[in-house]
Structure 1
């Protein structure tokens, strides 16, 4: 799994232009990882719970609708971009990704094969 994280800022808006801070995420899975994800149906698993991105926050999203912005494993097969109001929020998000993505790699590899040995213990 190869990860590339970039920061950028962009001014958006038709009437009232505002600067937003984006974190662009590109993940390239190995063939083995891709196969595990597809075989085990891991695509819908949530990697990071996120709300409405800053540049889309117009106050019209209900809490249930905001779920569509969560970062899922299937989203990592294409480039992901998420916006924030401040550079500090963008940096915090990058730190969160640096913690979660190695855990995701381990999770994918744990799903590679079914344990073939049995165990027993006494309680």
Structure 2
């Protein structure tokens, strides 16, 4: 798996423009990793609970969660943050999650073997 994270500054708004800091995440999975995700039915698995800077107060949290299916086919995930600091913290969180995902995919590659323990 190859993960690319980049930061972008964008301005949104029609009349009153506001500056946001957008974090782009692109993941390139190997053929084997994609097969594991498909065979084990892991595409709906939630990776991160998050809420972007421009989210409405009454918006449901499920709308913003990051799942495996969002980044599976090389699609770029975009997330808005209020400050550059929050964008960097989000990047650290995403890197940690992607590292855990790599370990998780390796664990799901094969079924367990027999274990014999004498106590």
TM-score (norm 2): 0.90
Which residue in 2 is equivalent to 1:13?
13
103, 111, 119: which one aligns with 1:114? 111
Q: Is this contact kept in 1: 2:4–2:26, CA < 8 A?
A: yes
Report the secondary structure of 1:88's partner residue. helix
Which residue in 1 is equivalent to 2:38?
38
Q: Deviations over 1:29-64 (max 9, x none)?
A: 00000000000011111111112x113x23231xxx
**Alpha-carbon distance in structure 1 between the residues aligned to 2:53 and 2:34:** 31
**Alpha-carbon distance in structure 2 between the residues aligned to 1:99 and 1:66:** 21
Report the secondary structure of 1:33's partner residue. helix
Report the secondary structure of 2:93's partner residue. helix
Report the secondary structure of 2:4's partner residue. strand
**Alpha-carbon distance in structure 1 between the residues aligned to 2:106 and 2:114:** 20
TM-score (norm 1): 0.88
User: Which ranges in structure 1 are unaligned for 5 or more consecutive residues?
Assistant: none
Q: Identify if the C-alpha distance between structure 1 residues 121 and 3 changes in structure 2 by more than 3 Å, giving closer, same or farther.
A: same
User: Which ranges in structure 2 are unaligned for 5 or more consecutive residues?
Assistant: none
Q: Is this contact kept in 1: 2:49–2:61, CA < 8 A?
A: no
Instruction: Report the aligned-residue RMSD.
Output: 1.4
Q: 1:98 Cα shift?
A: 1.7
**Alpha-carbon distance in structure 2 between the residues aligned to 1:108 and 1:6:** 24
The yes-or-no answer on 1:59 pairing with 2:54 is: no
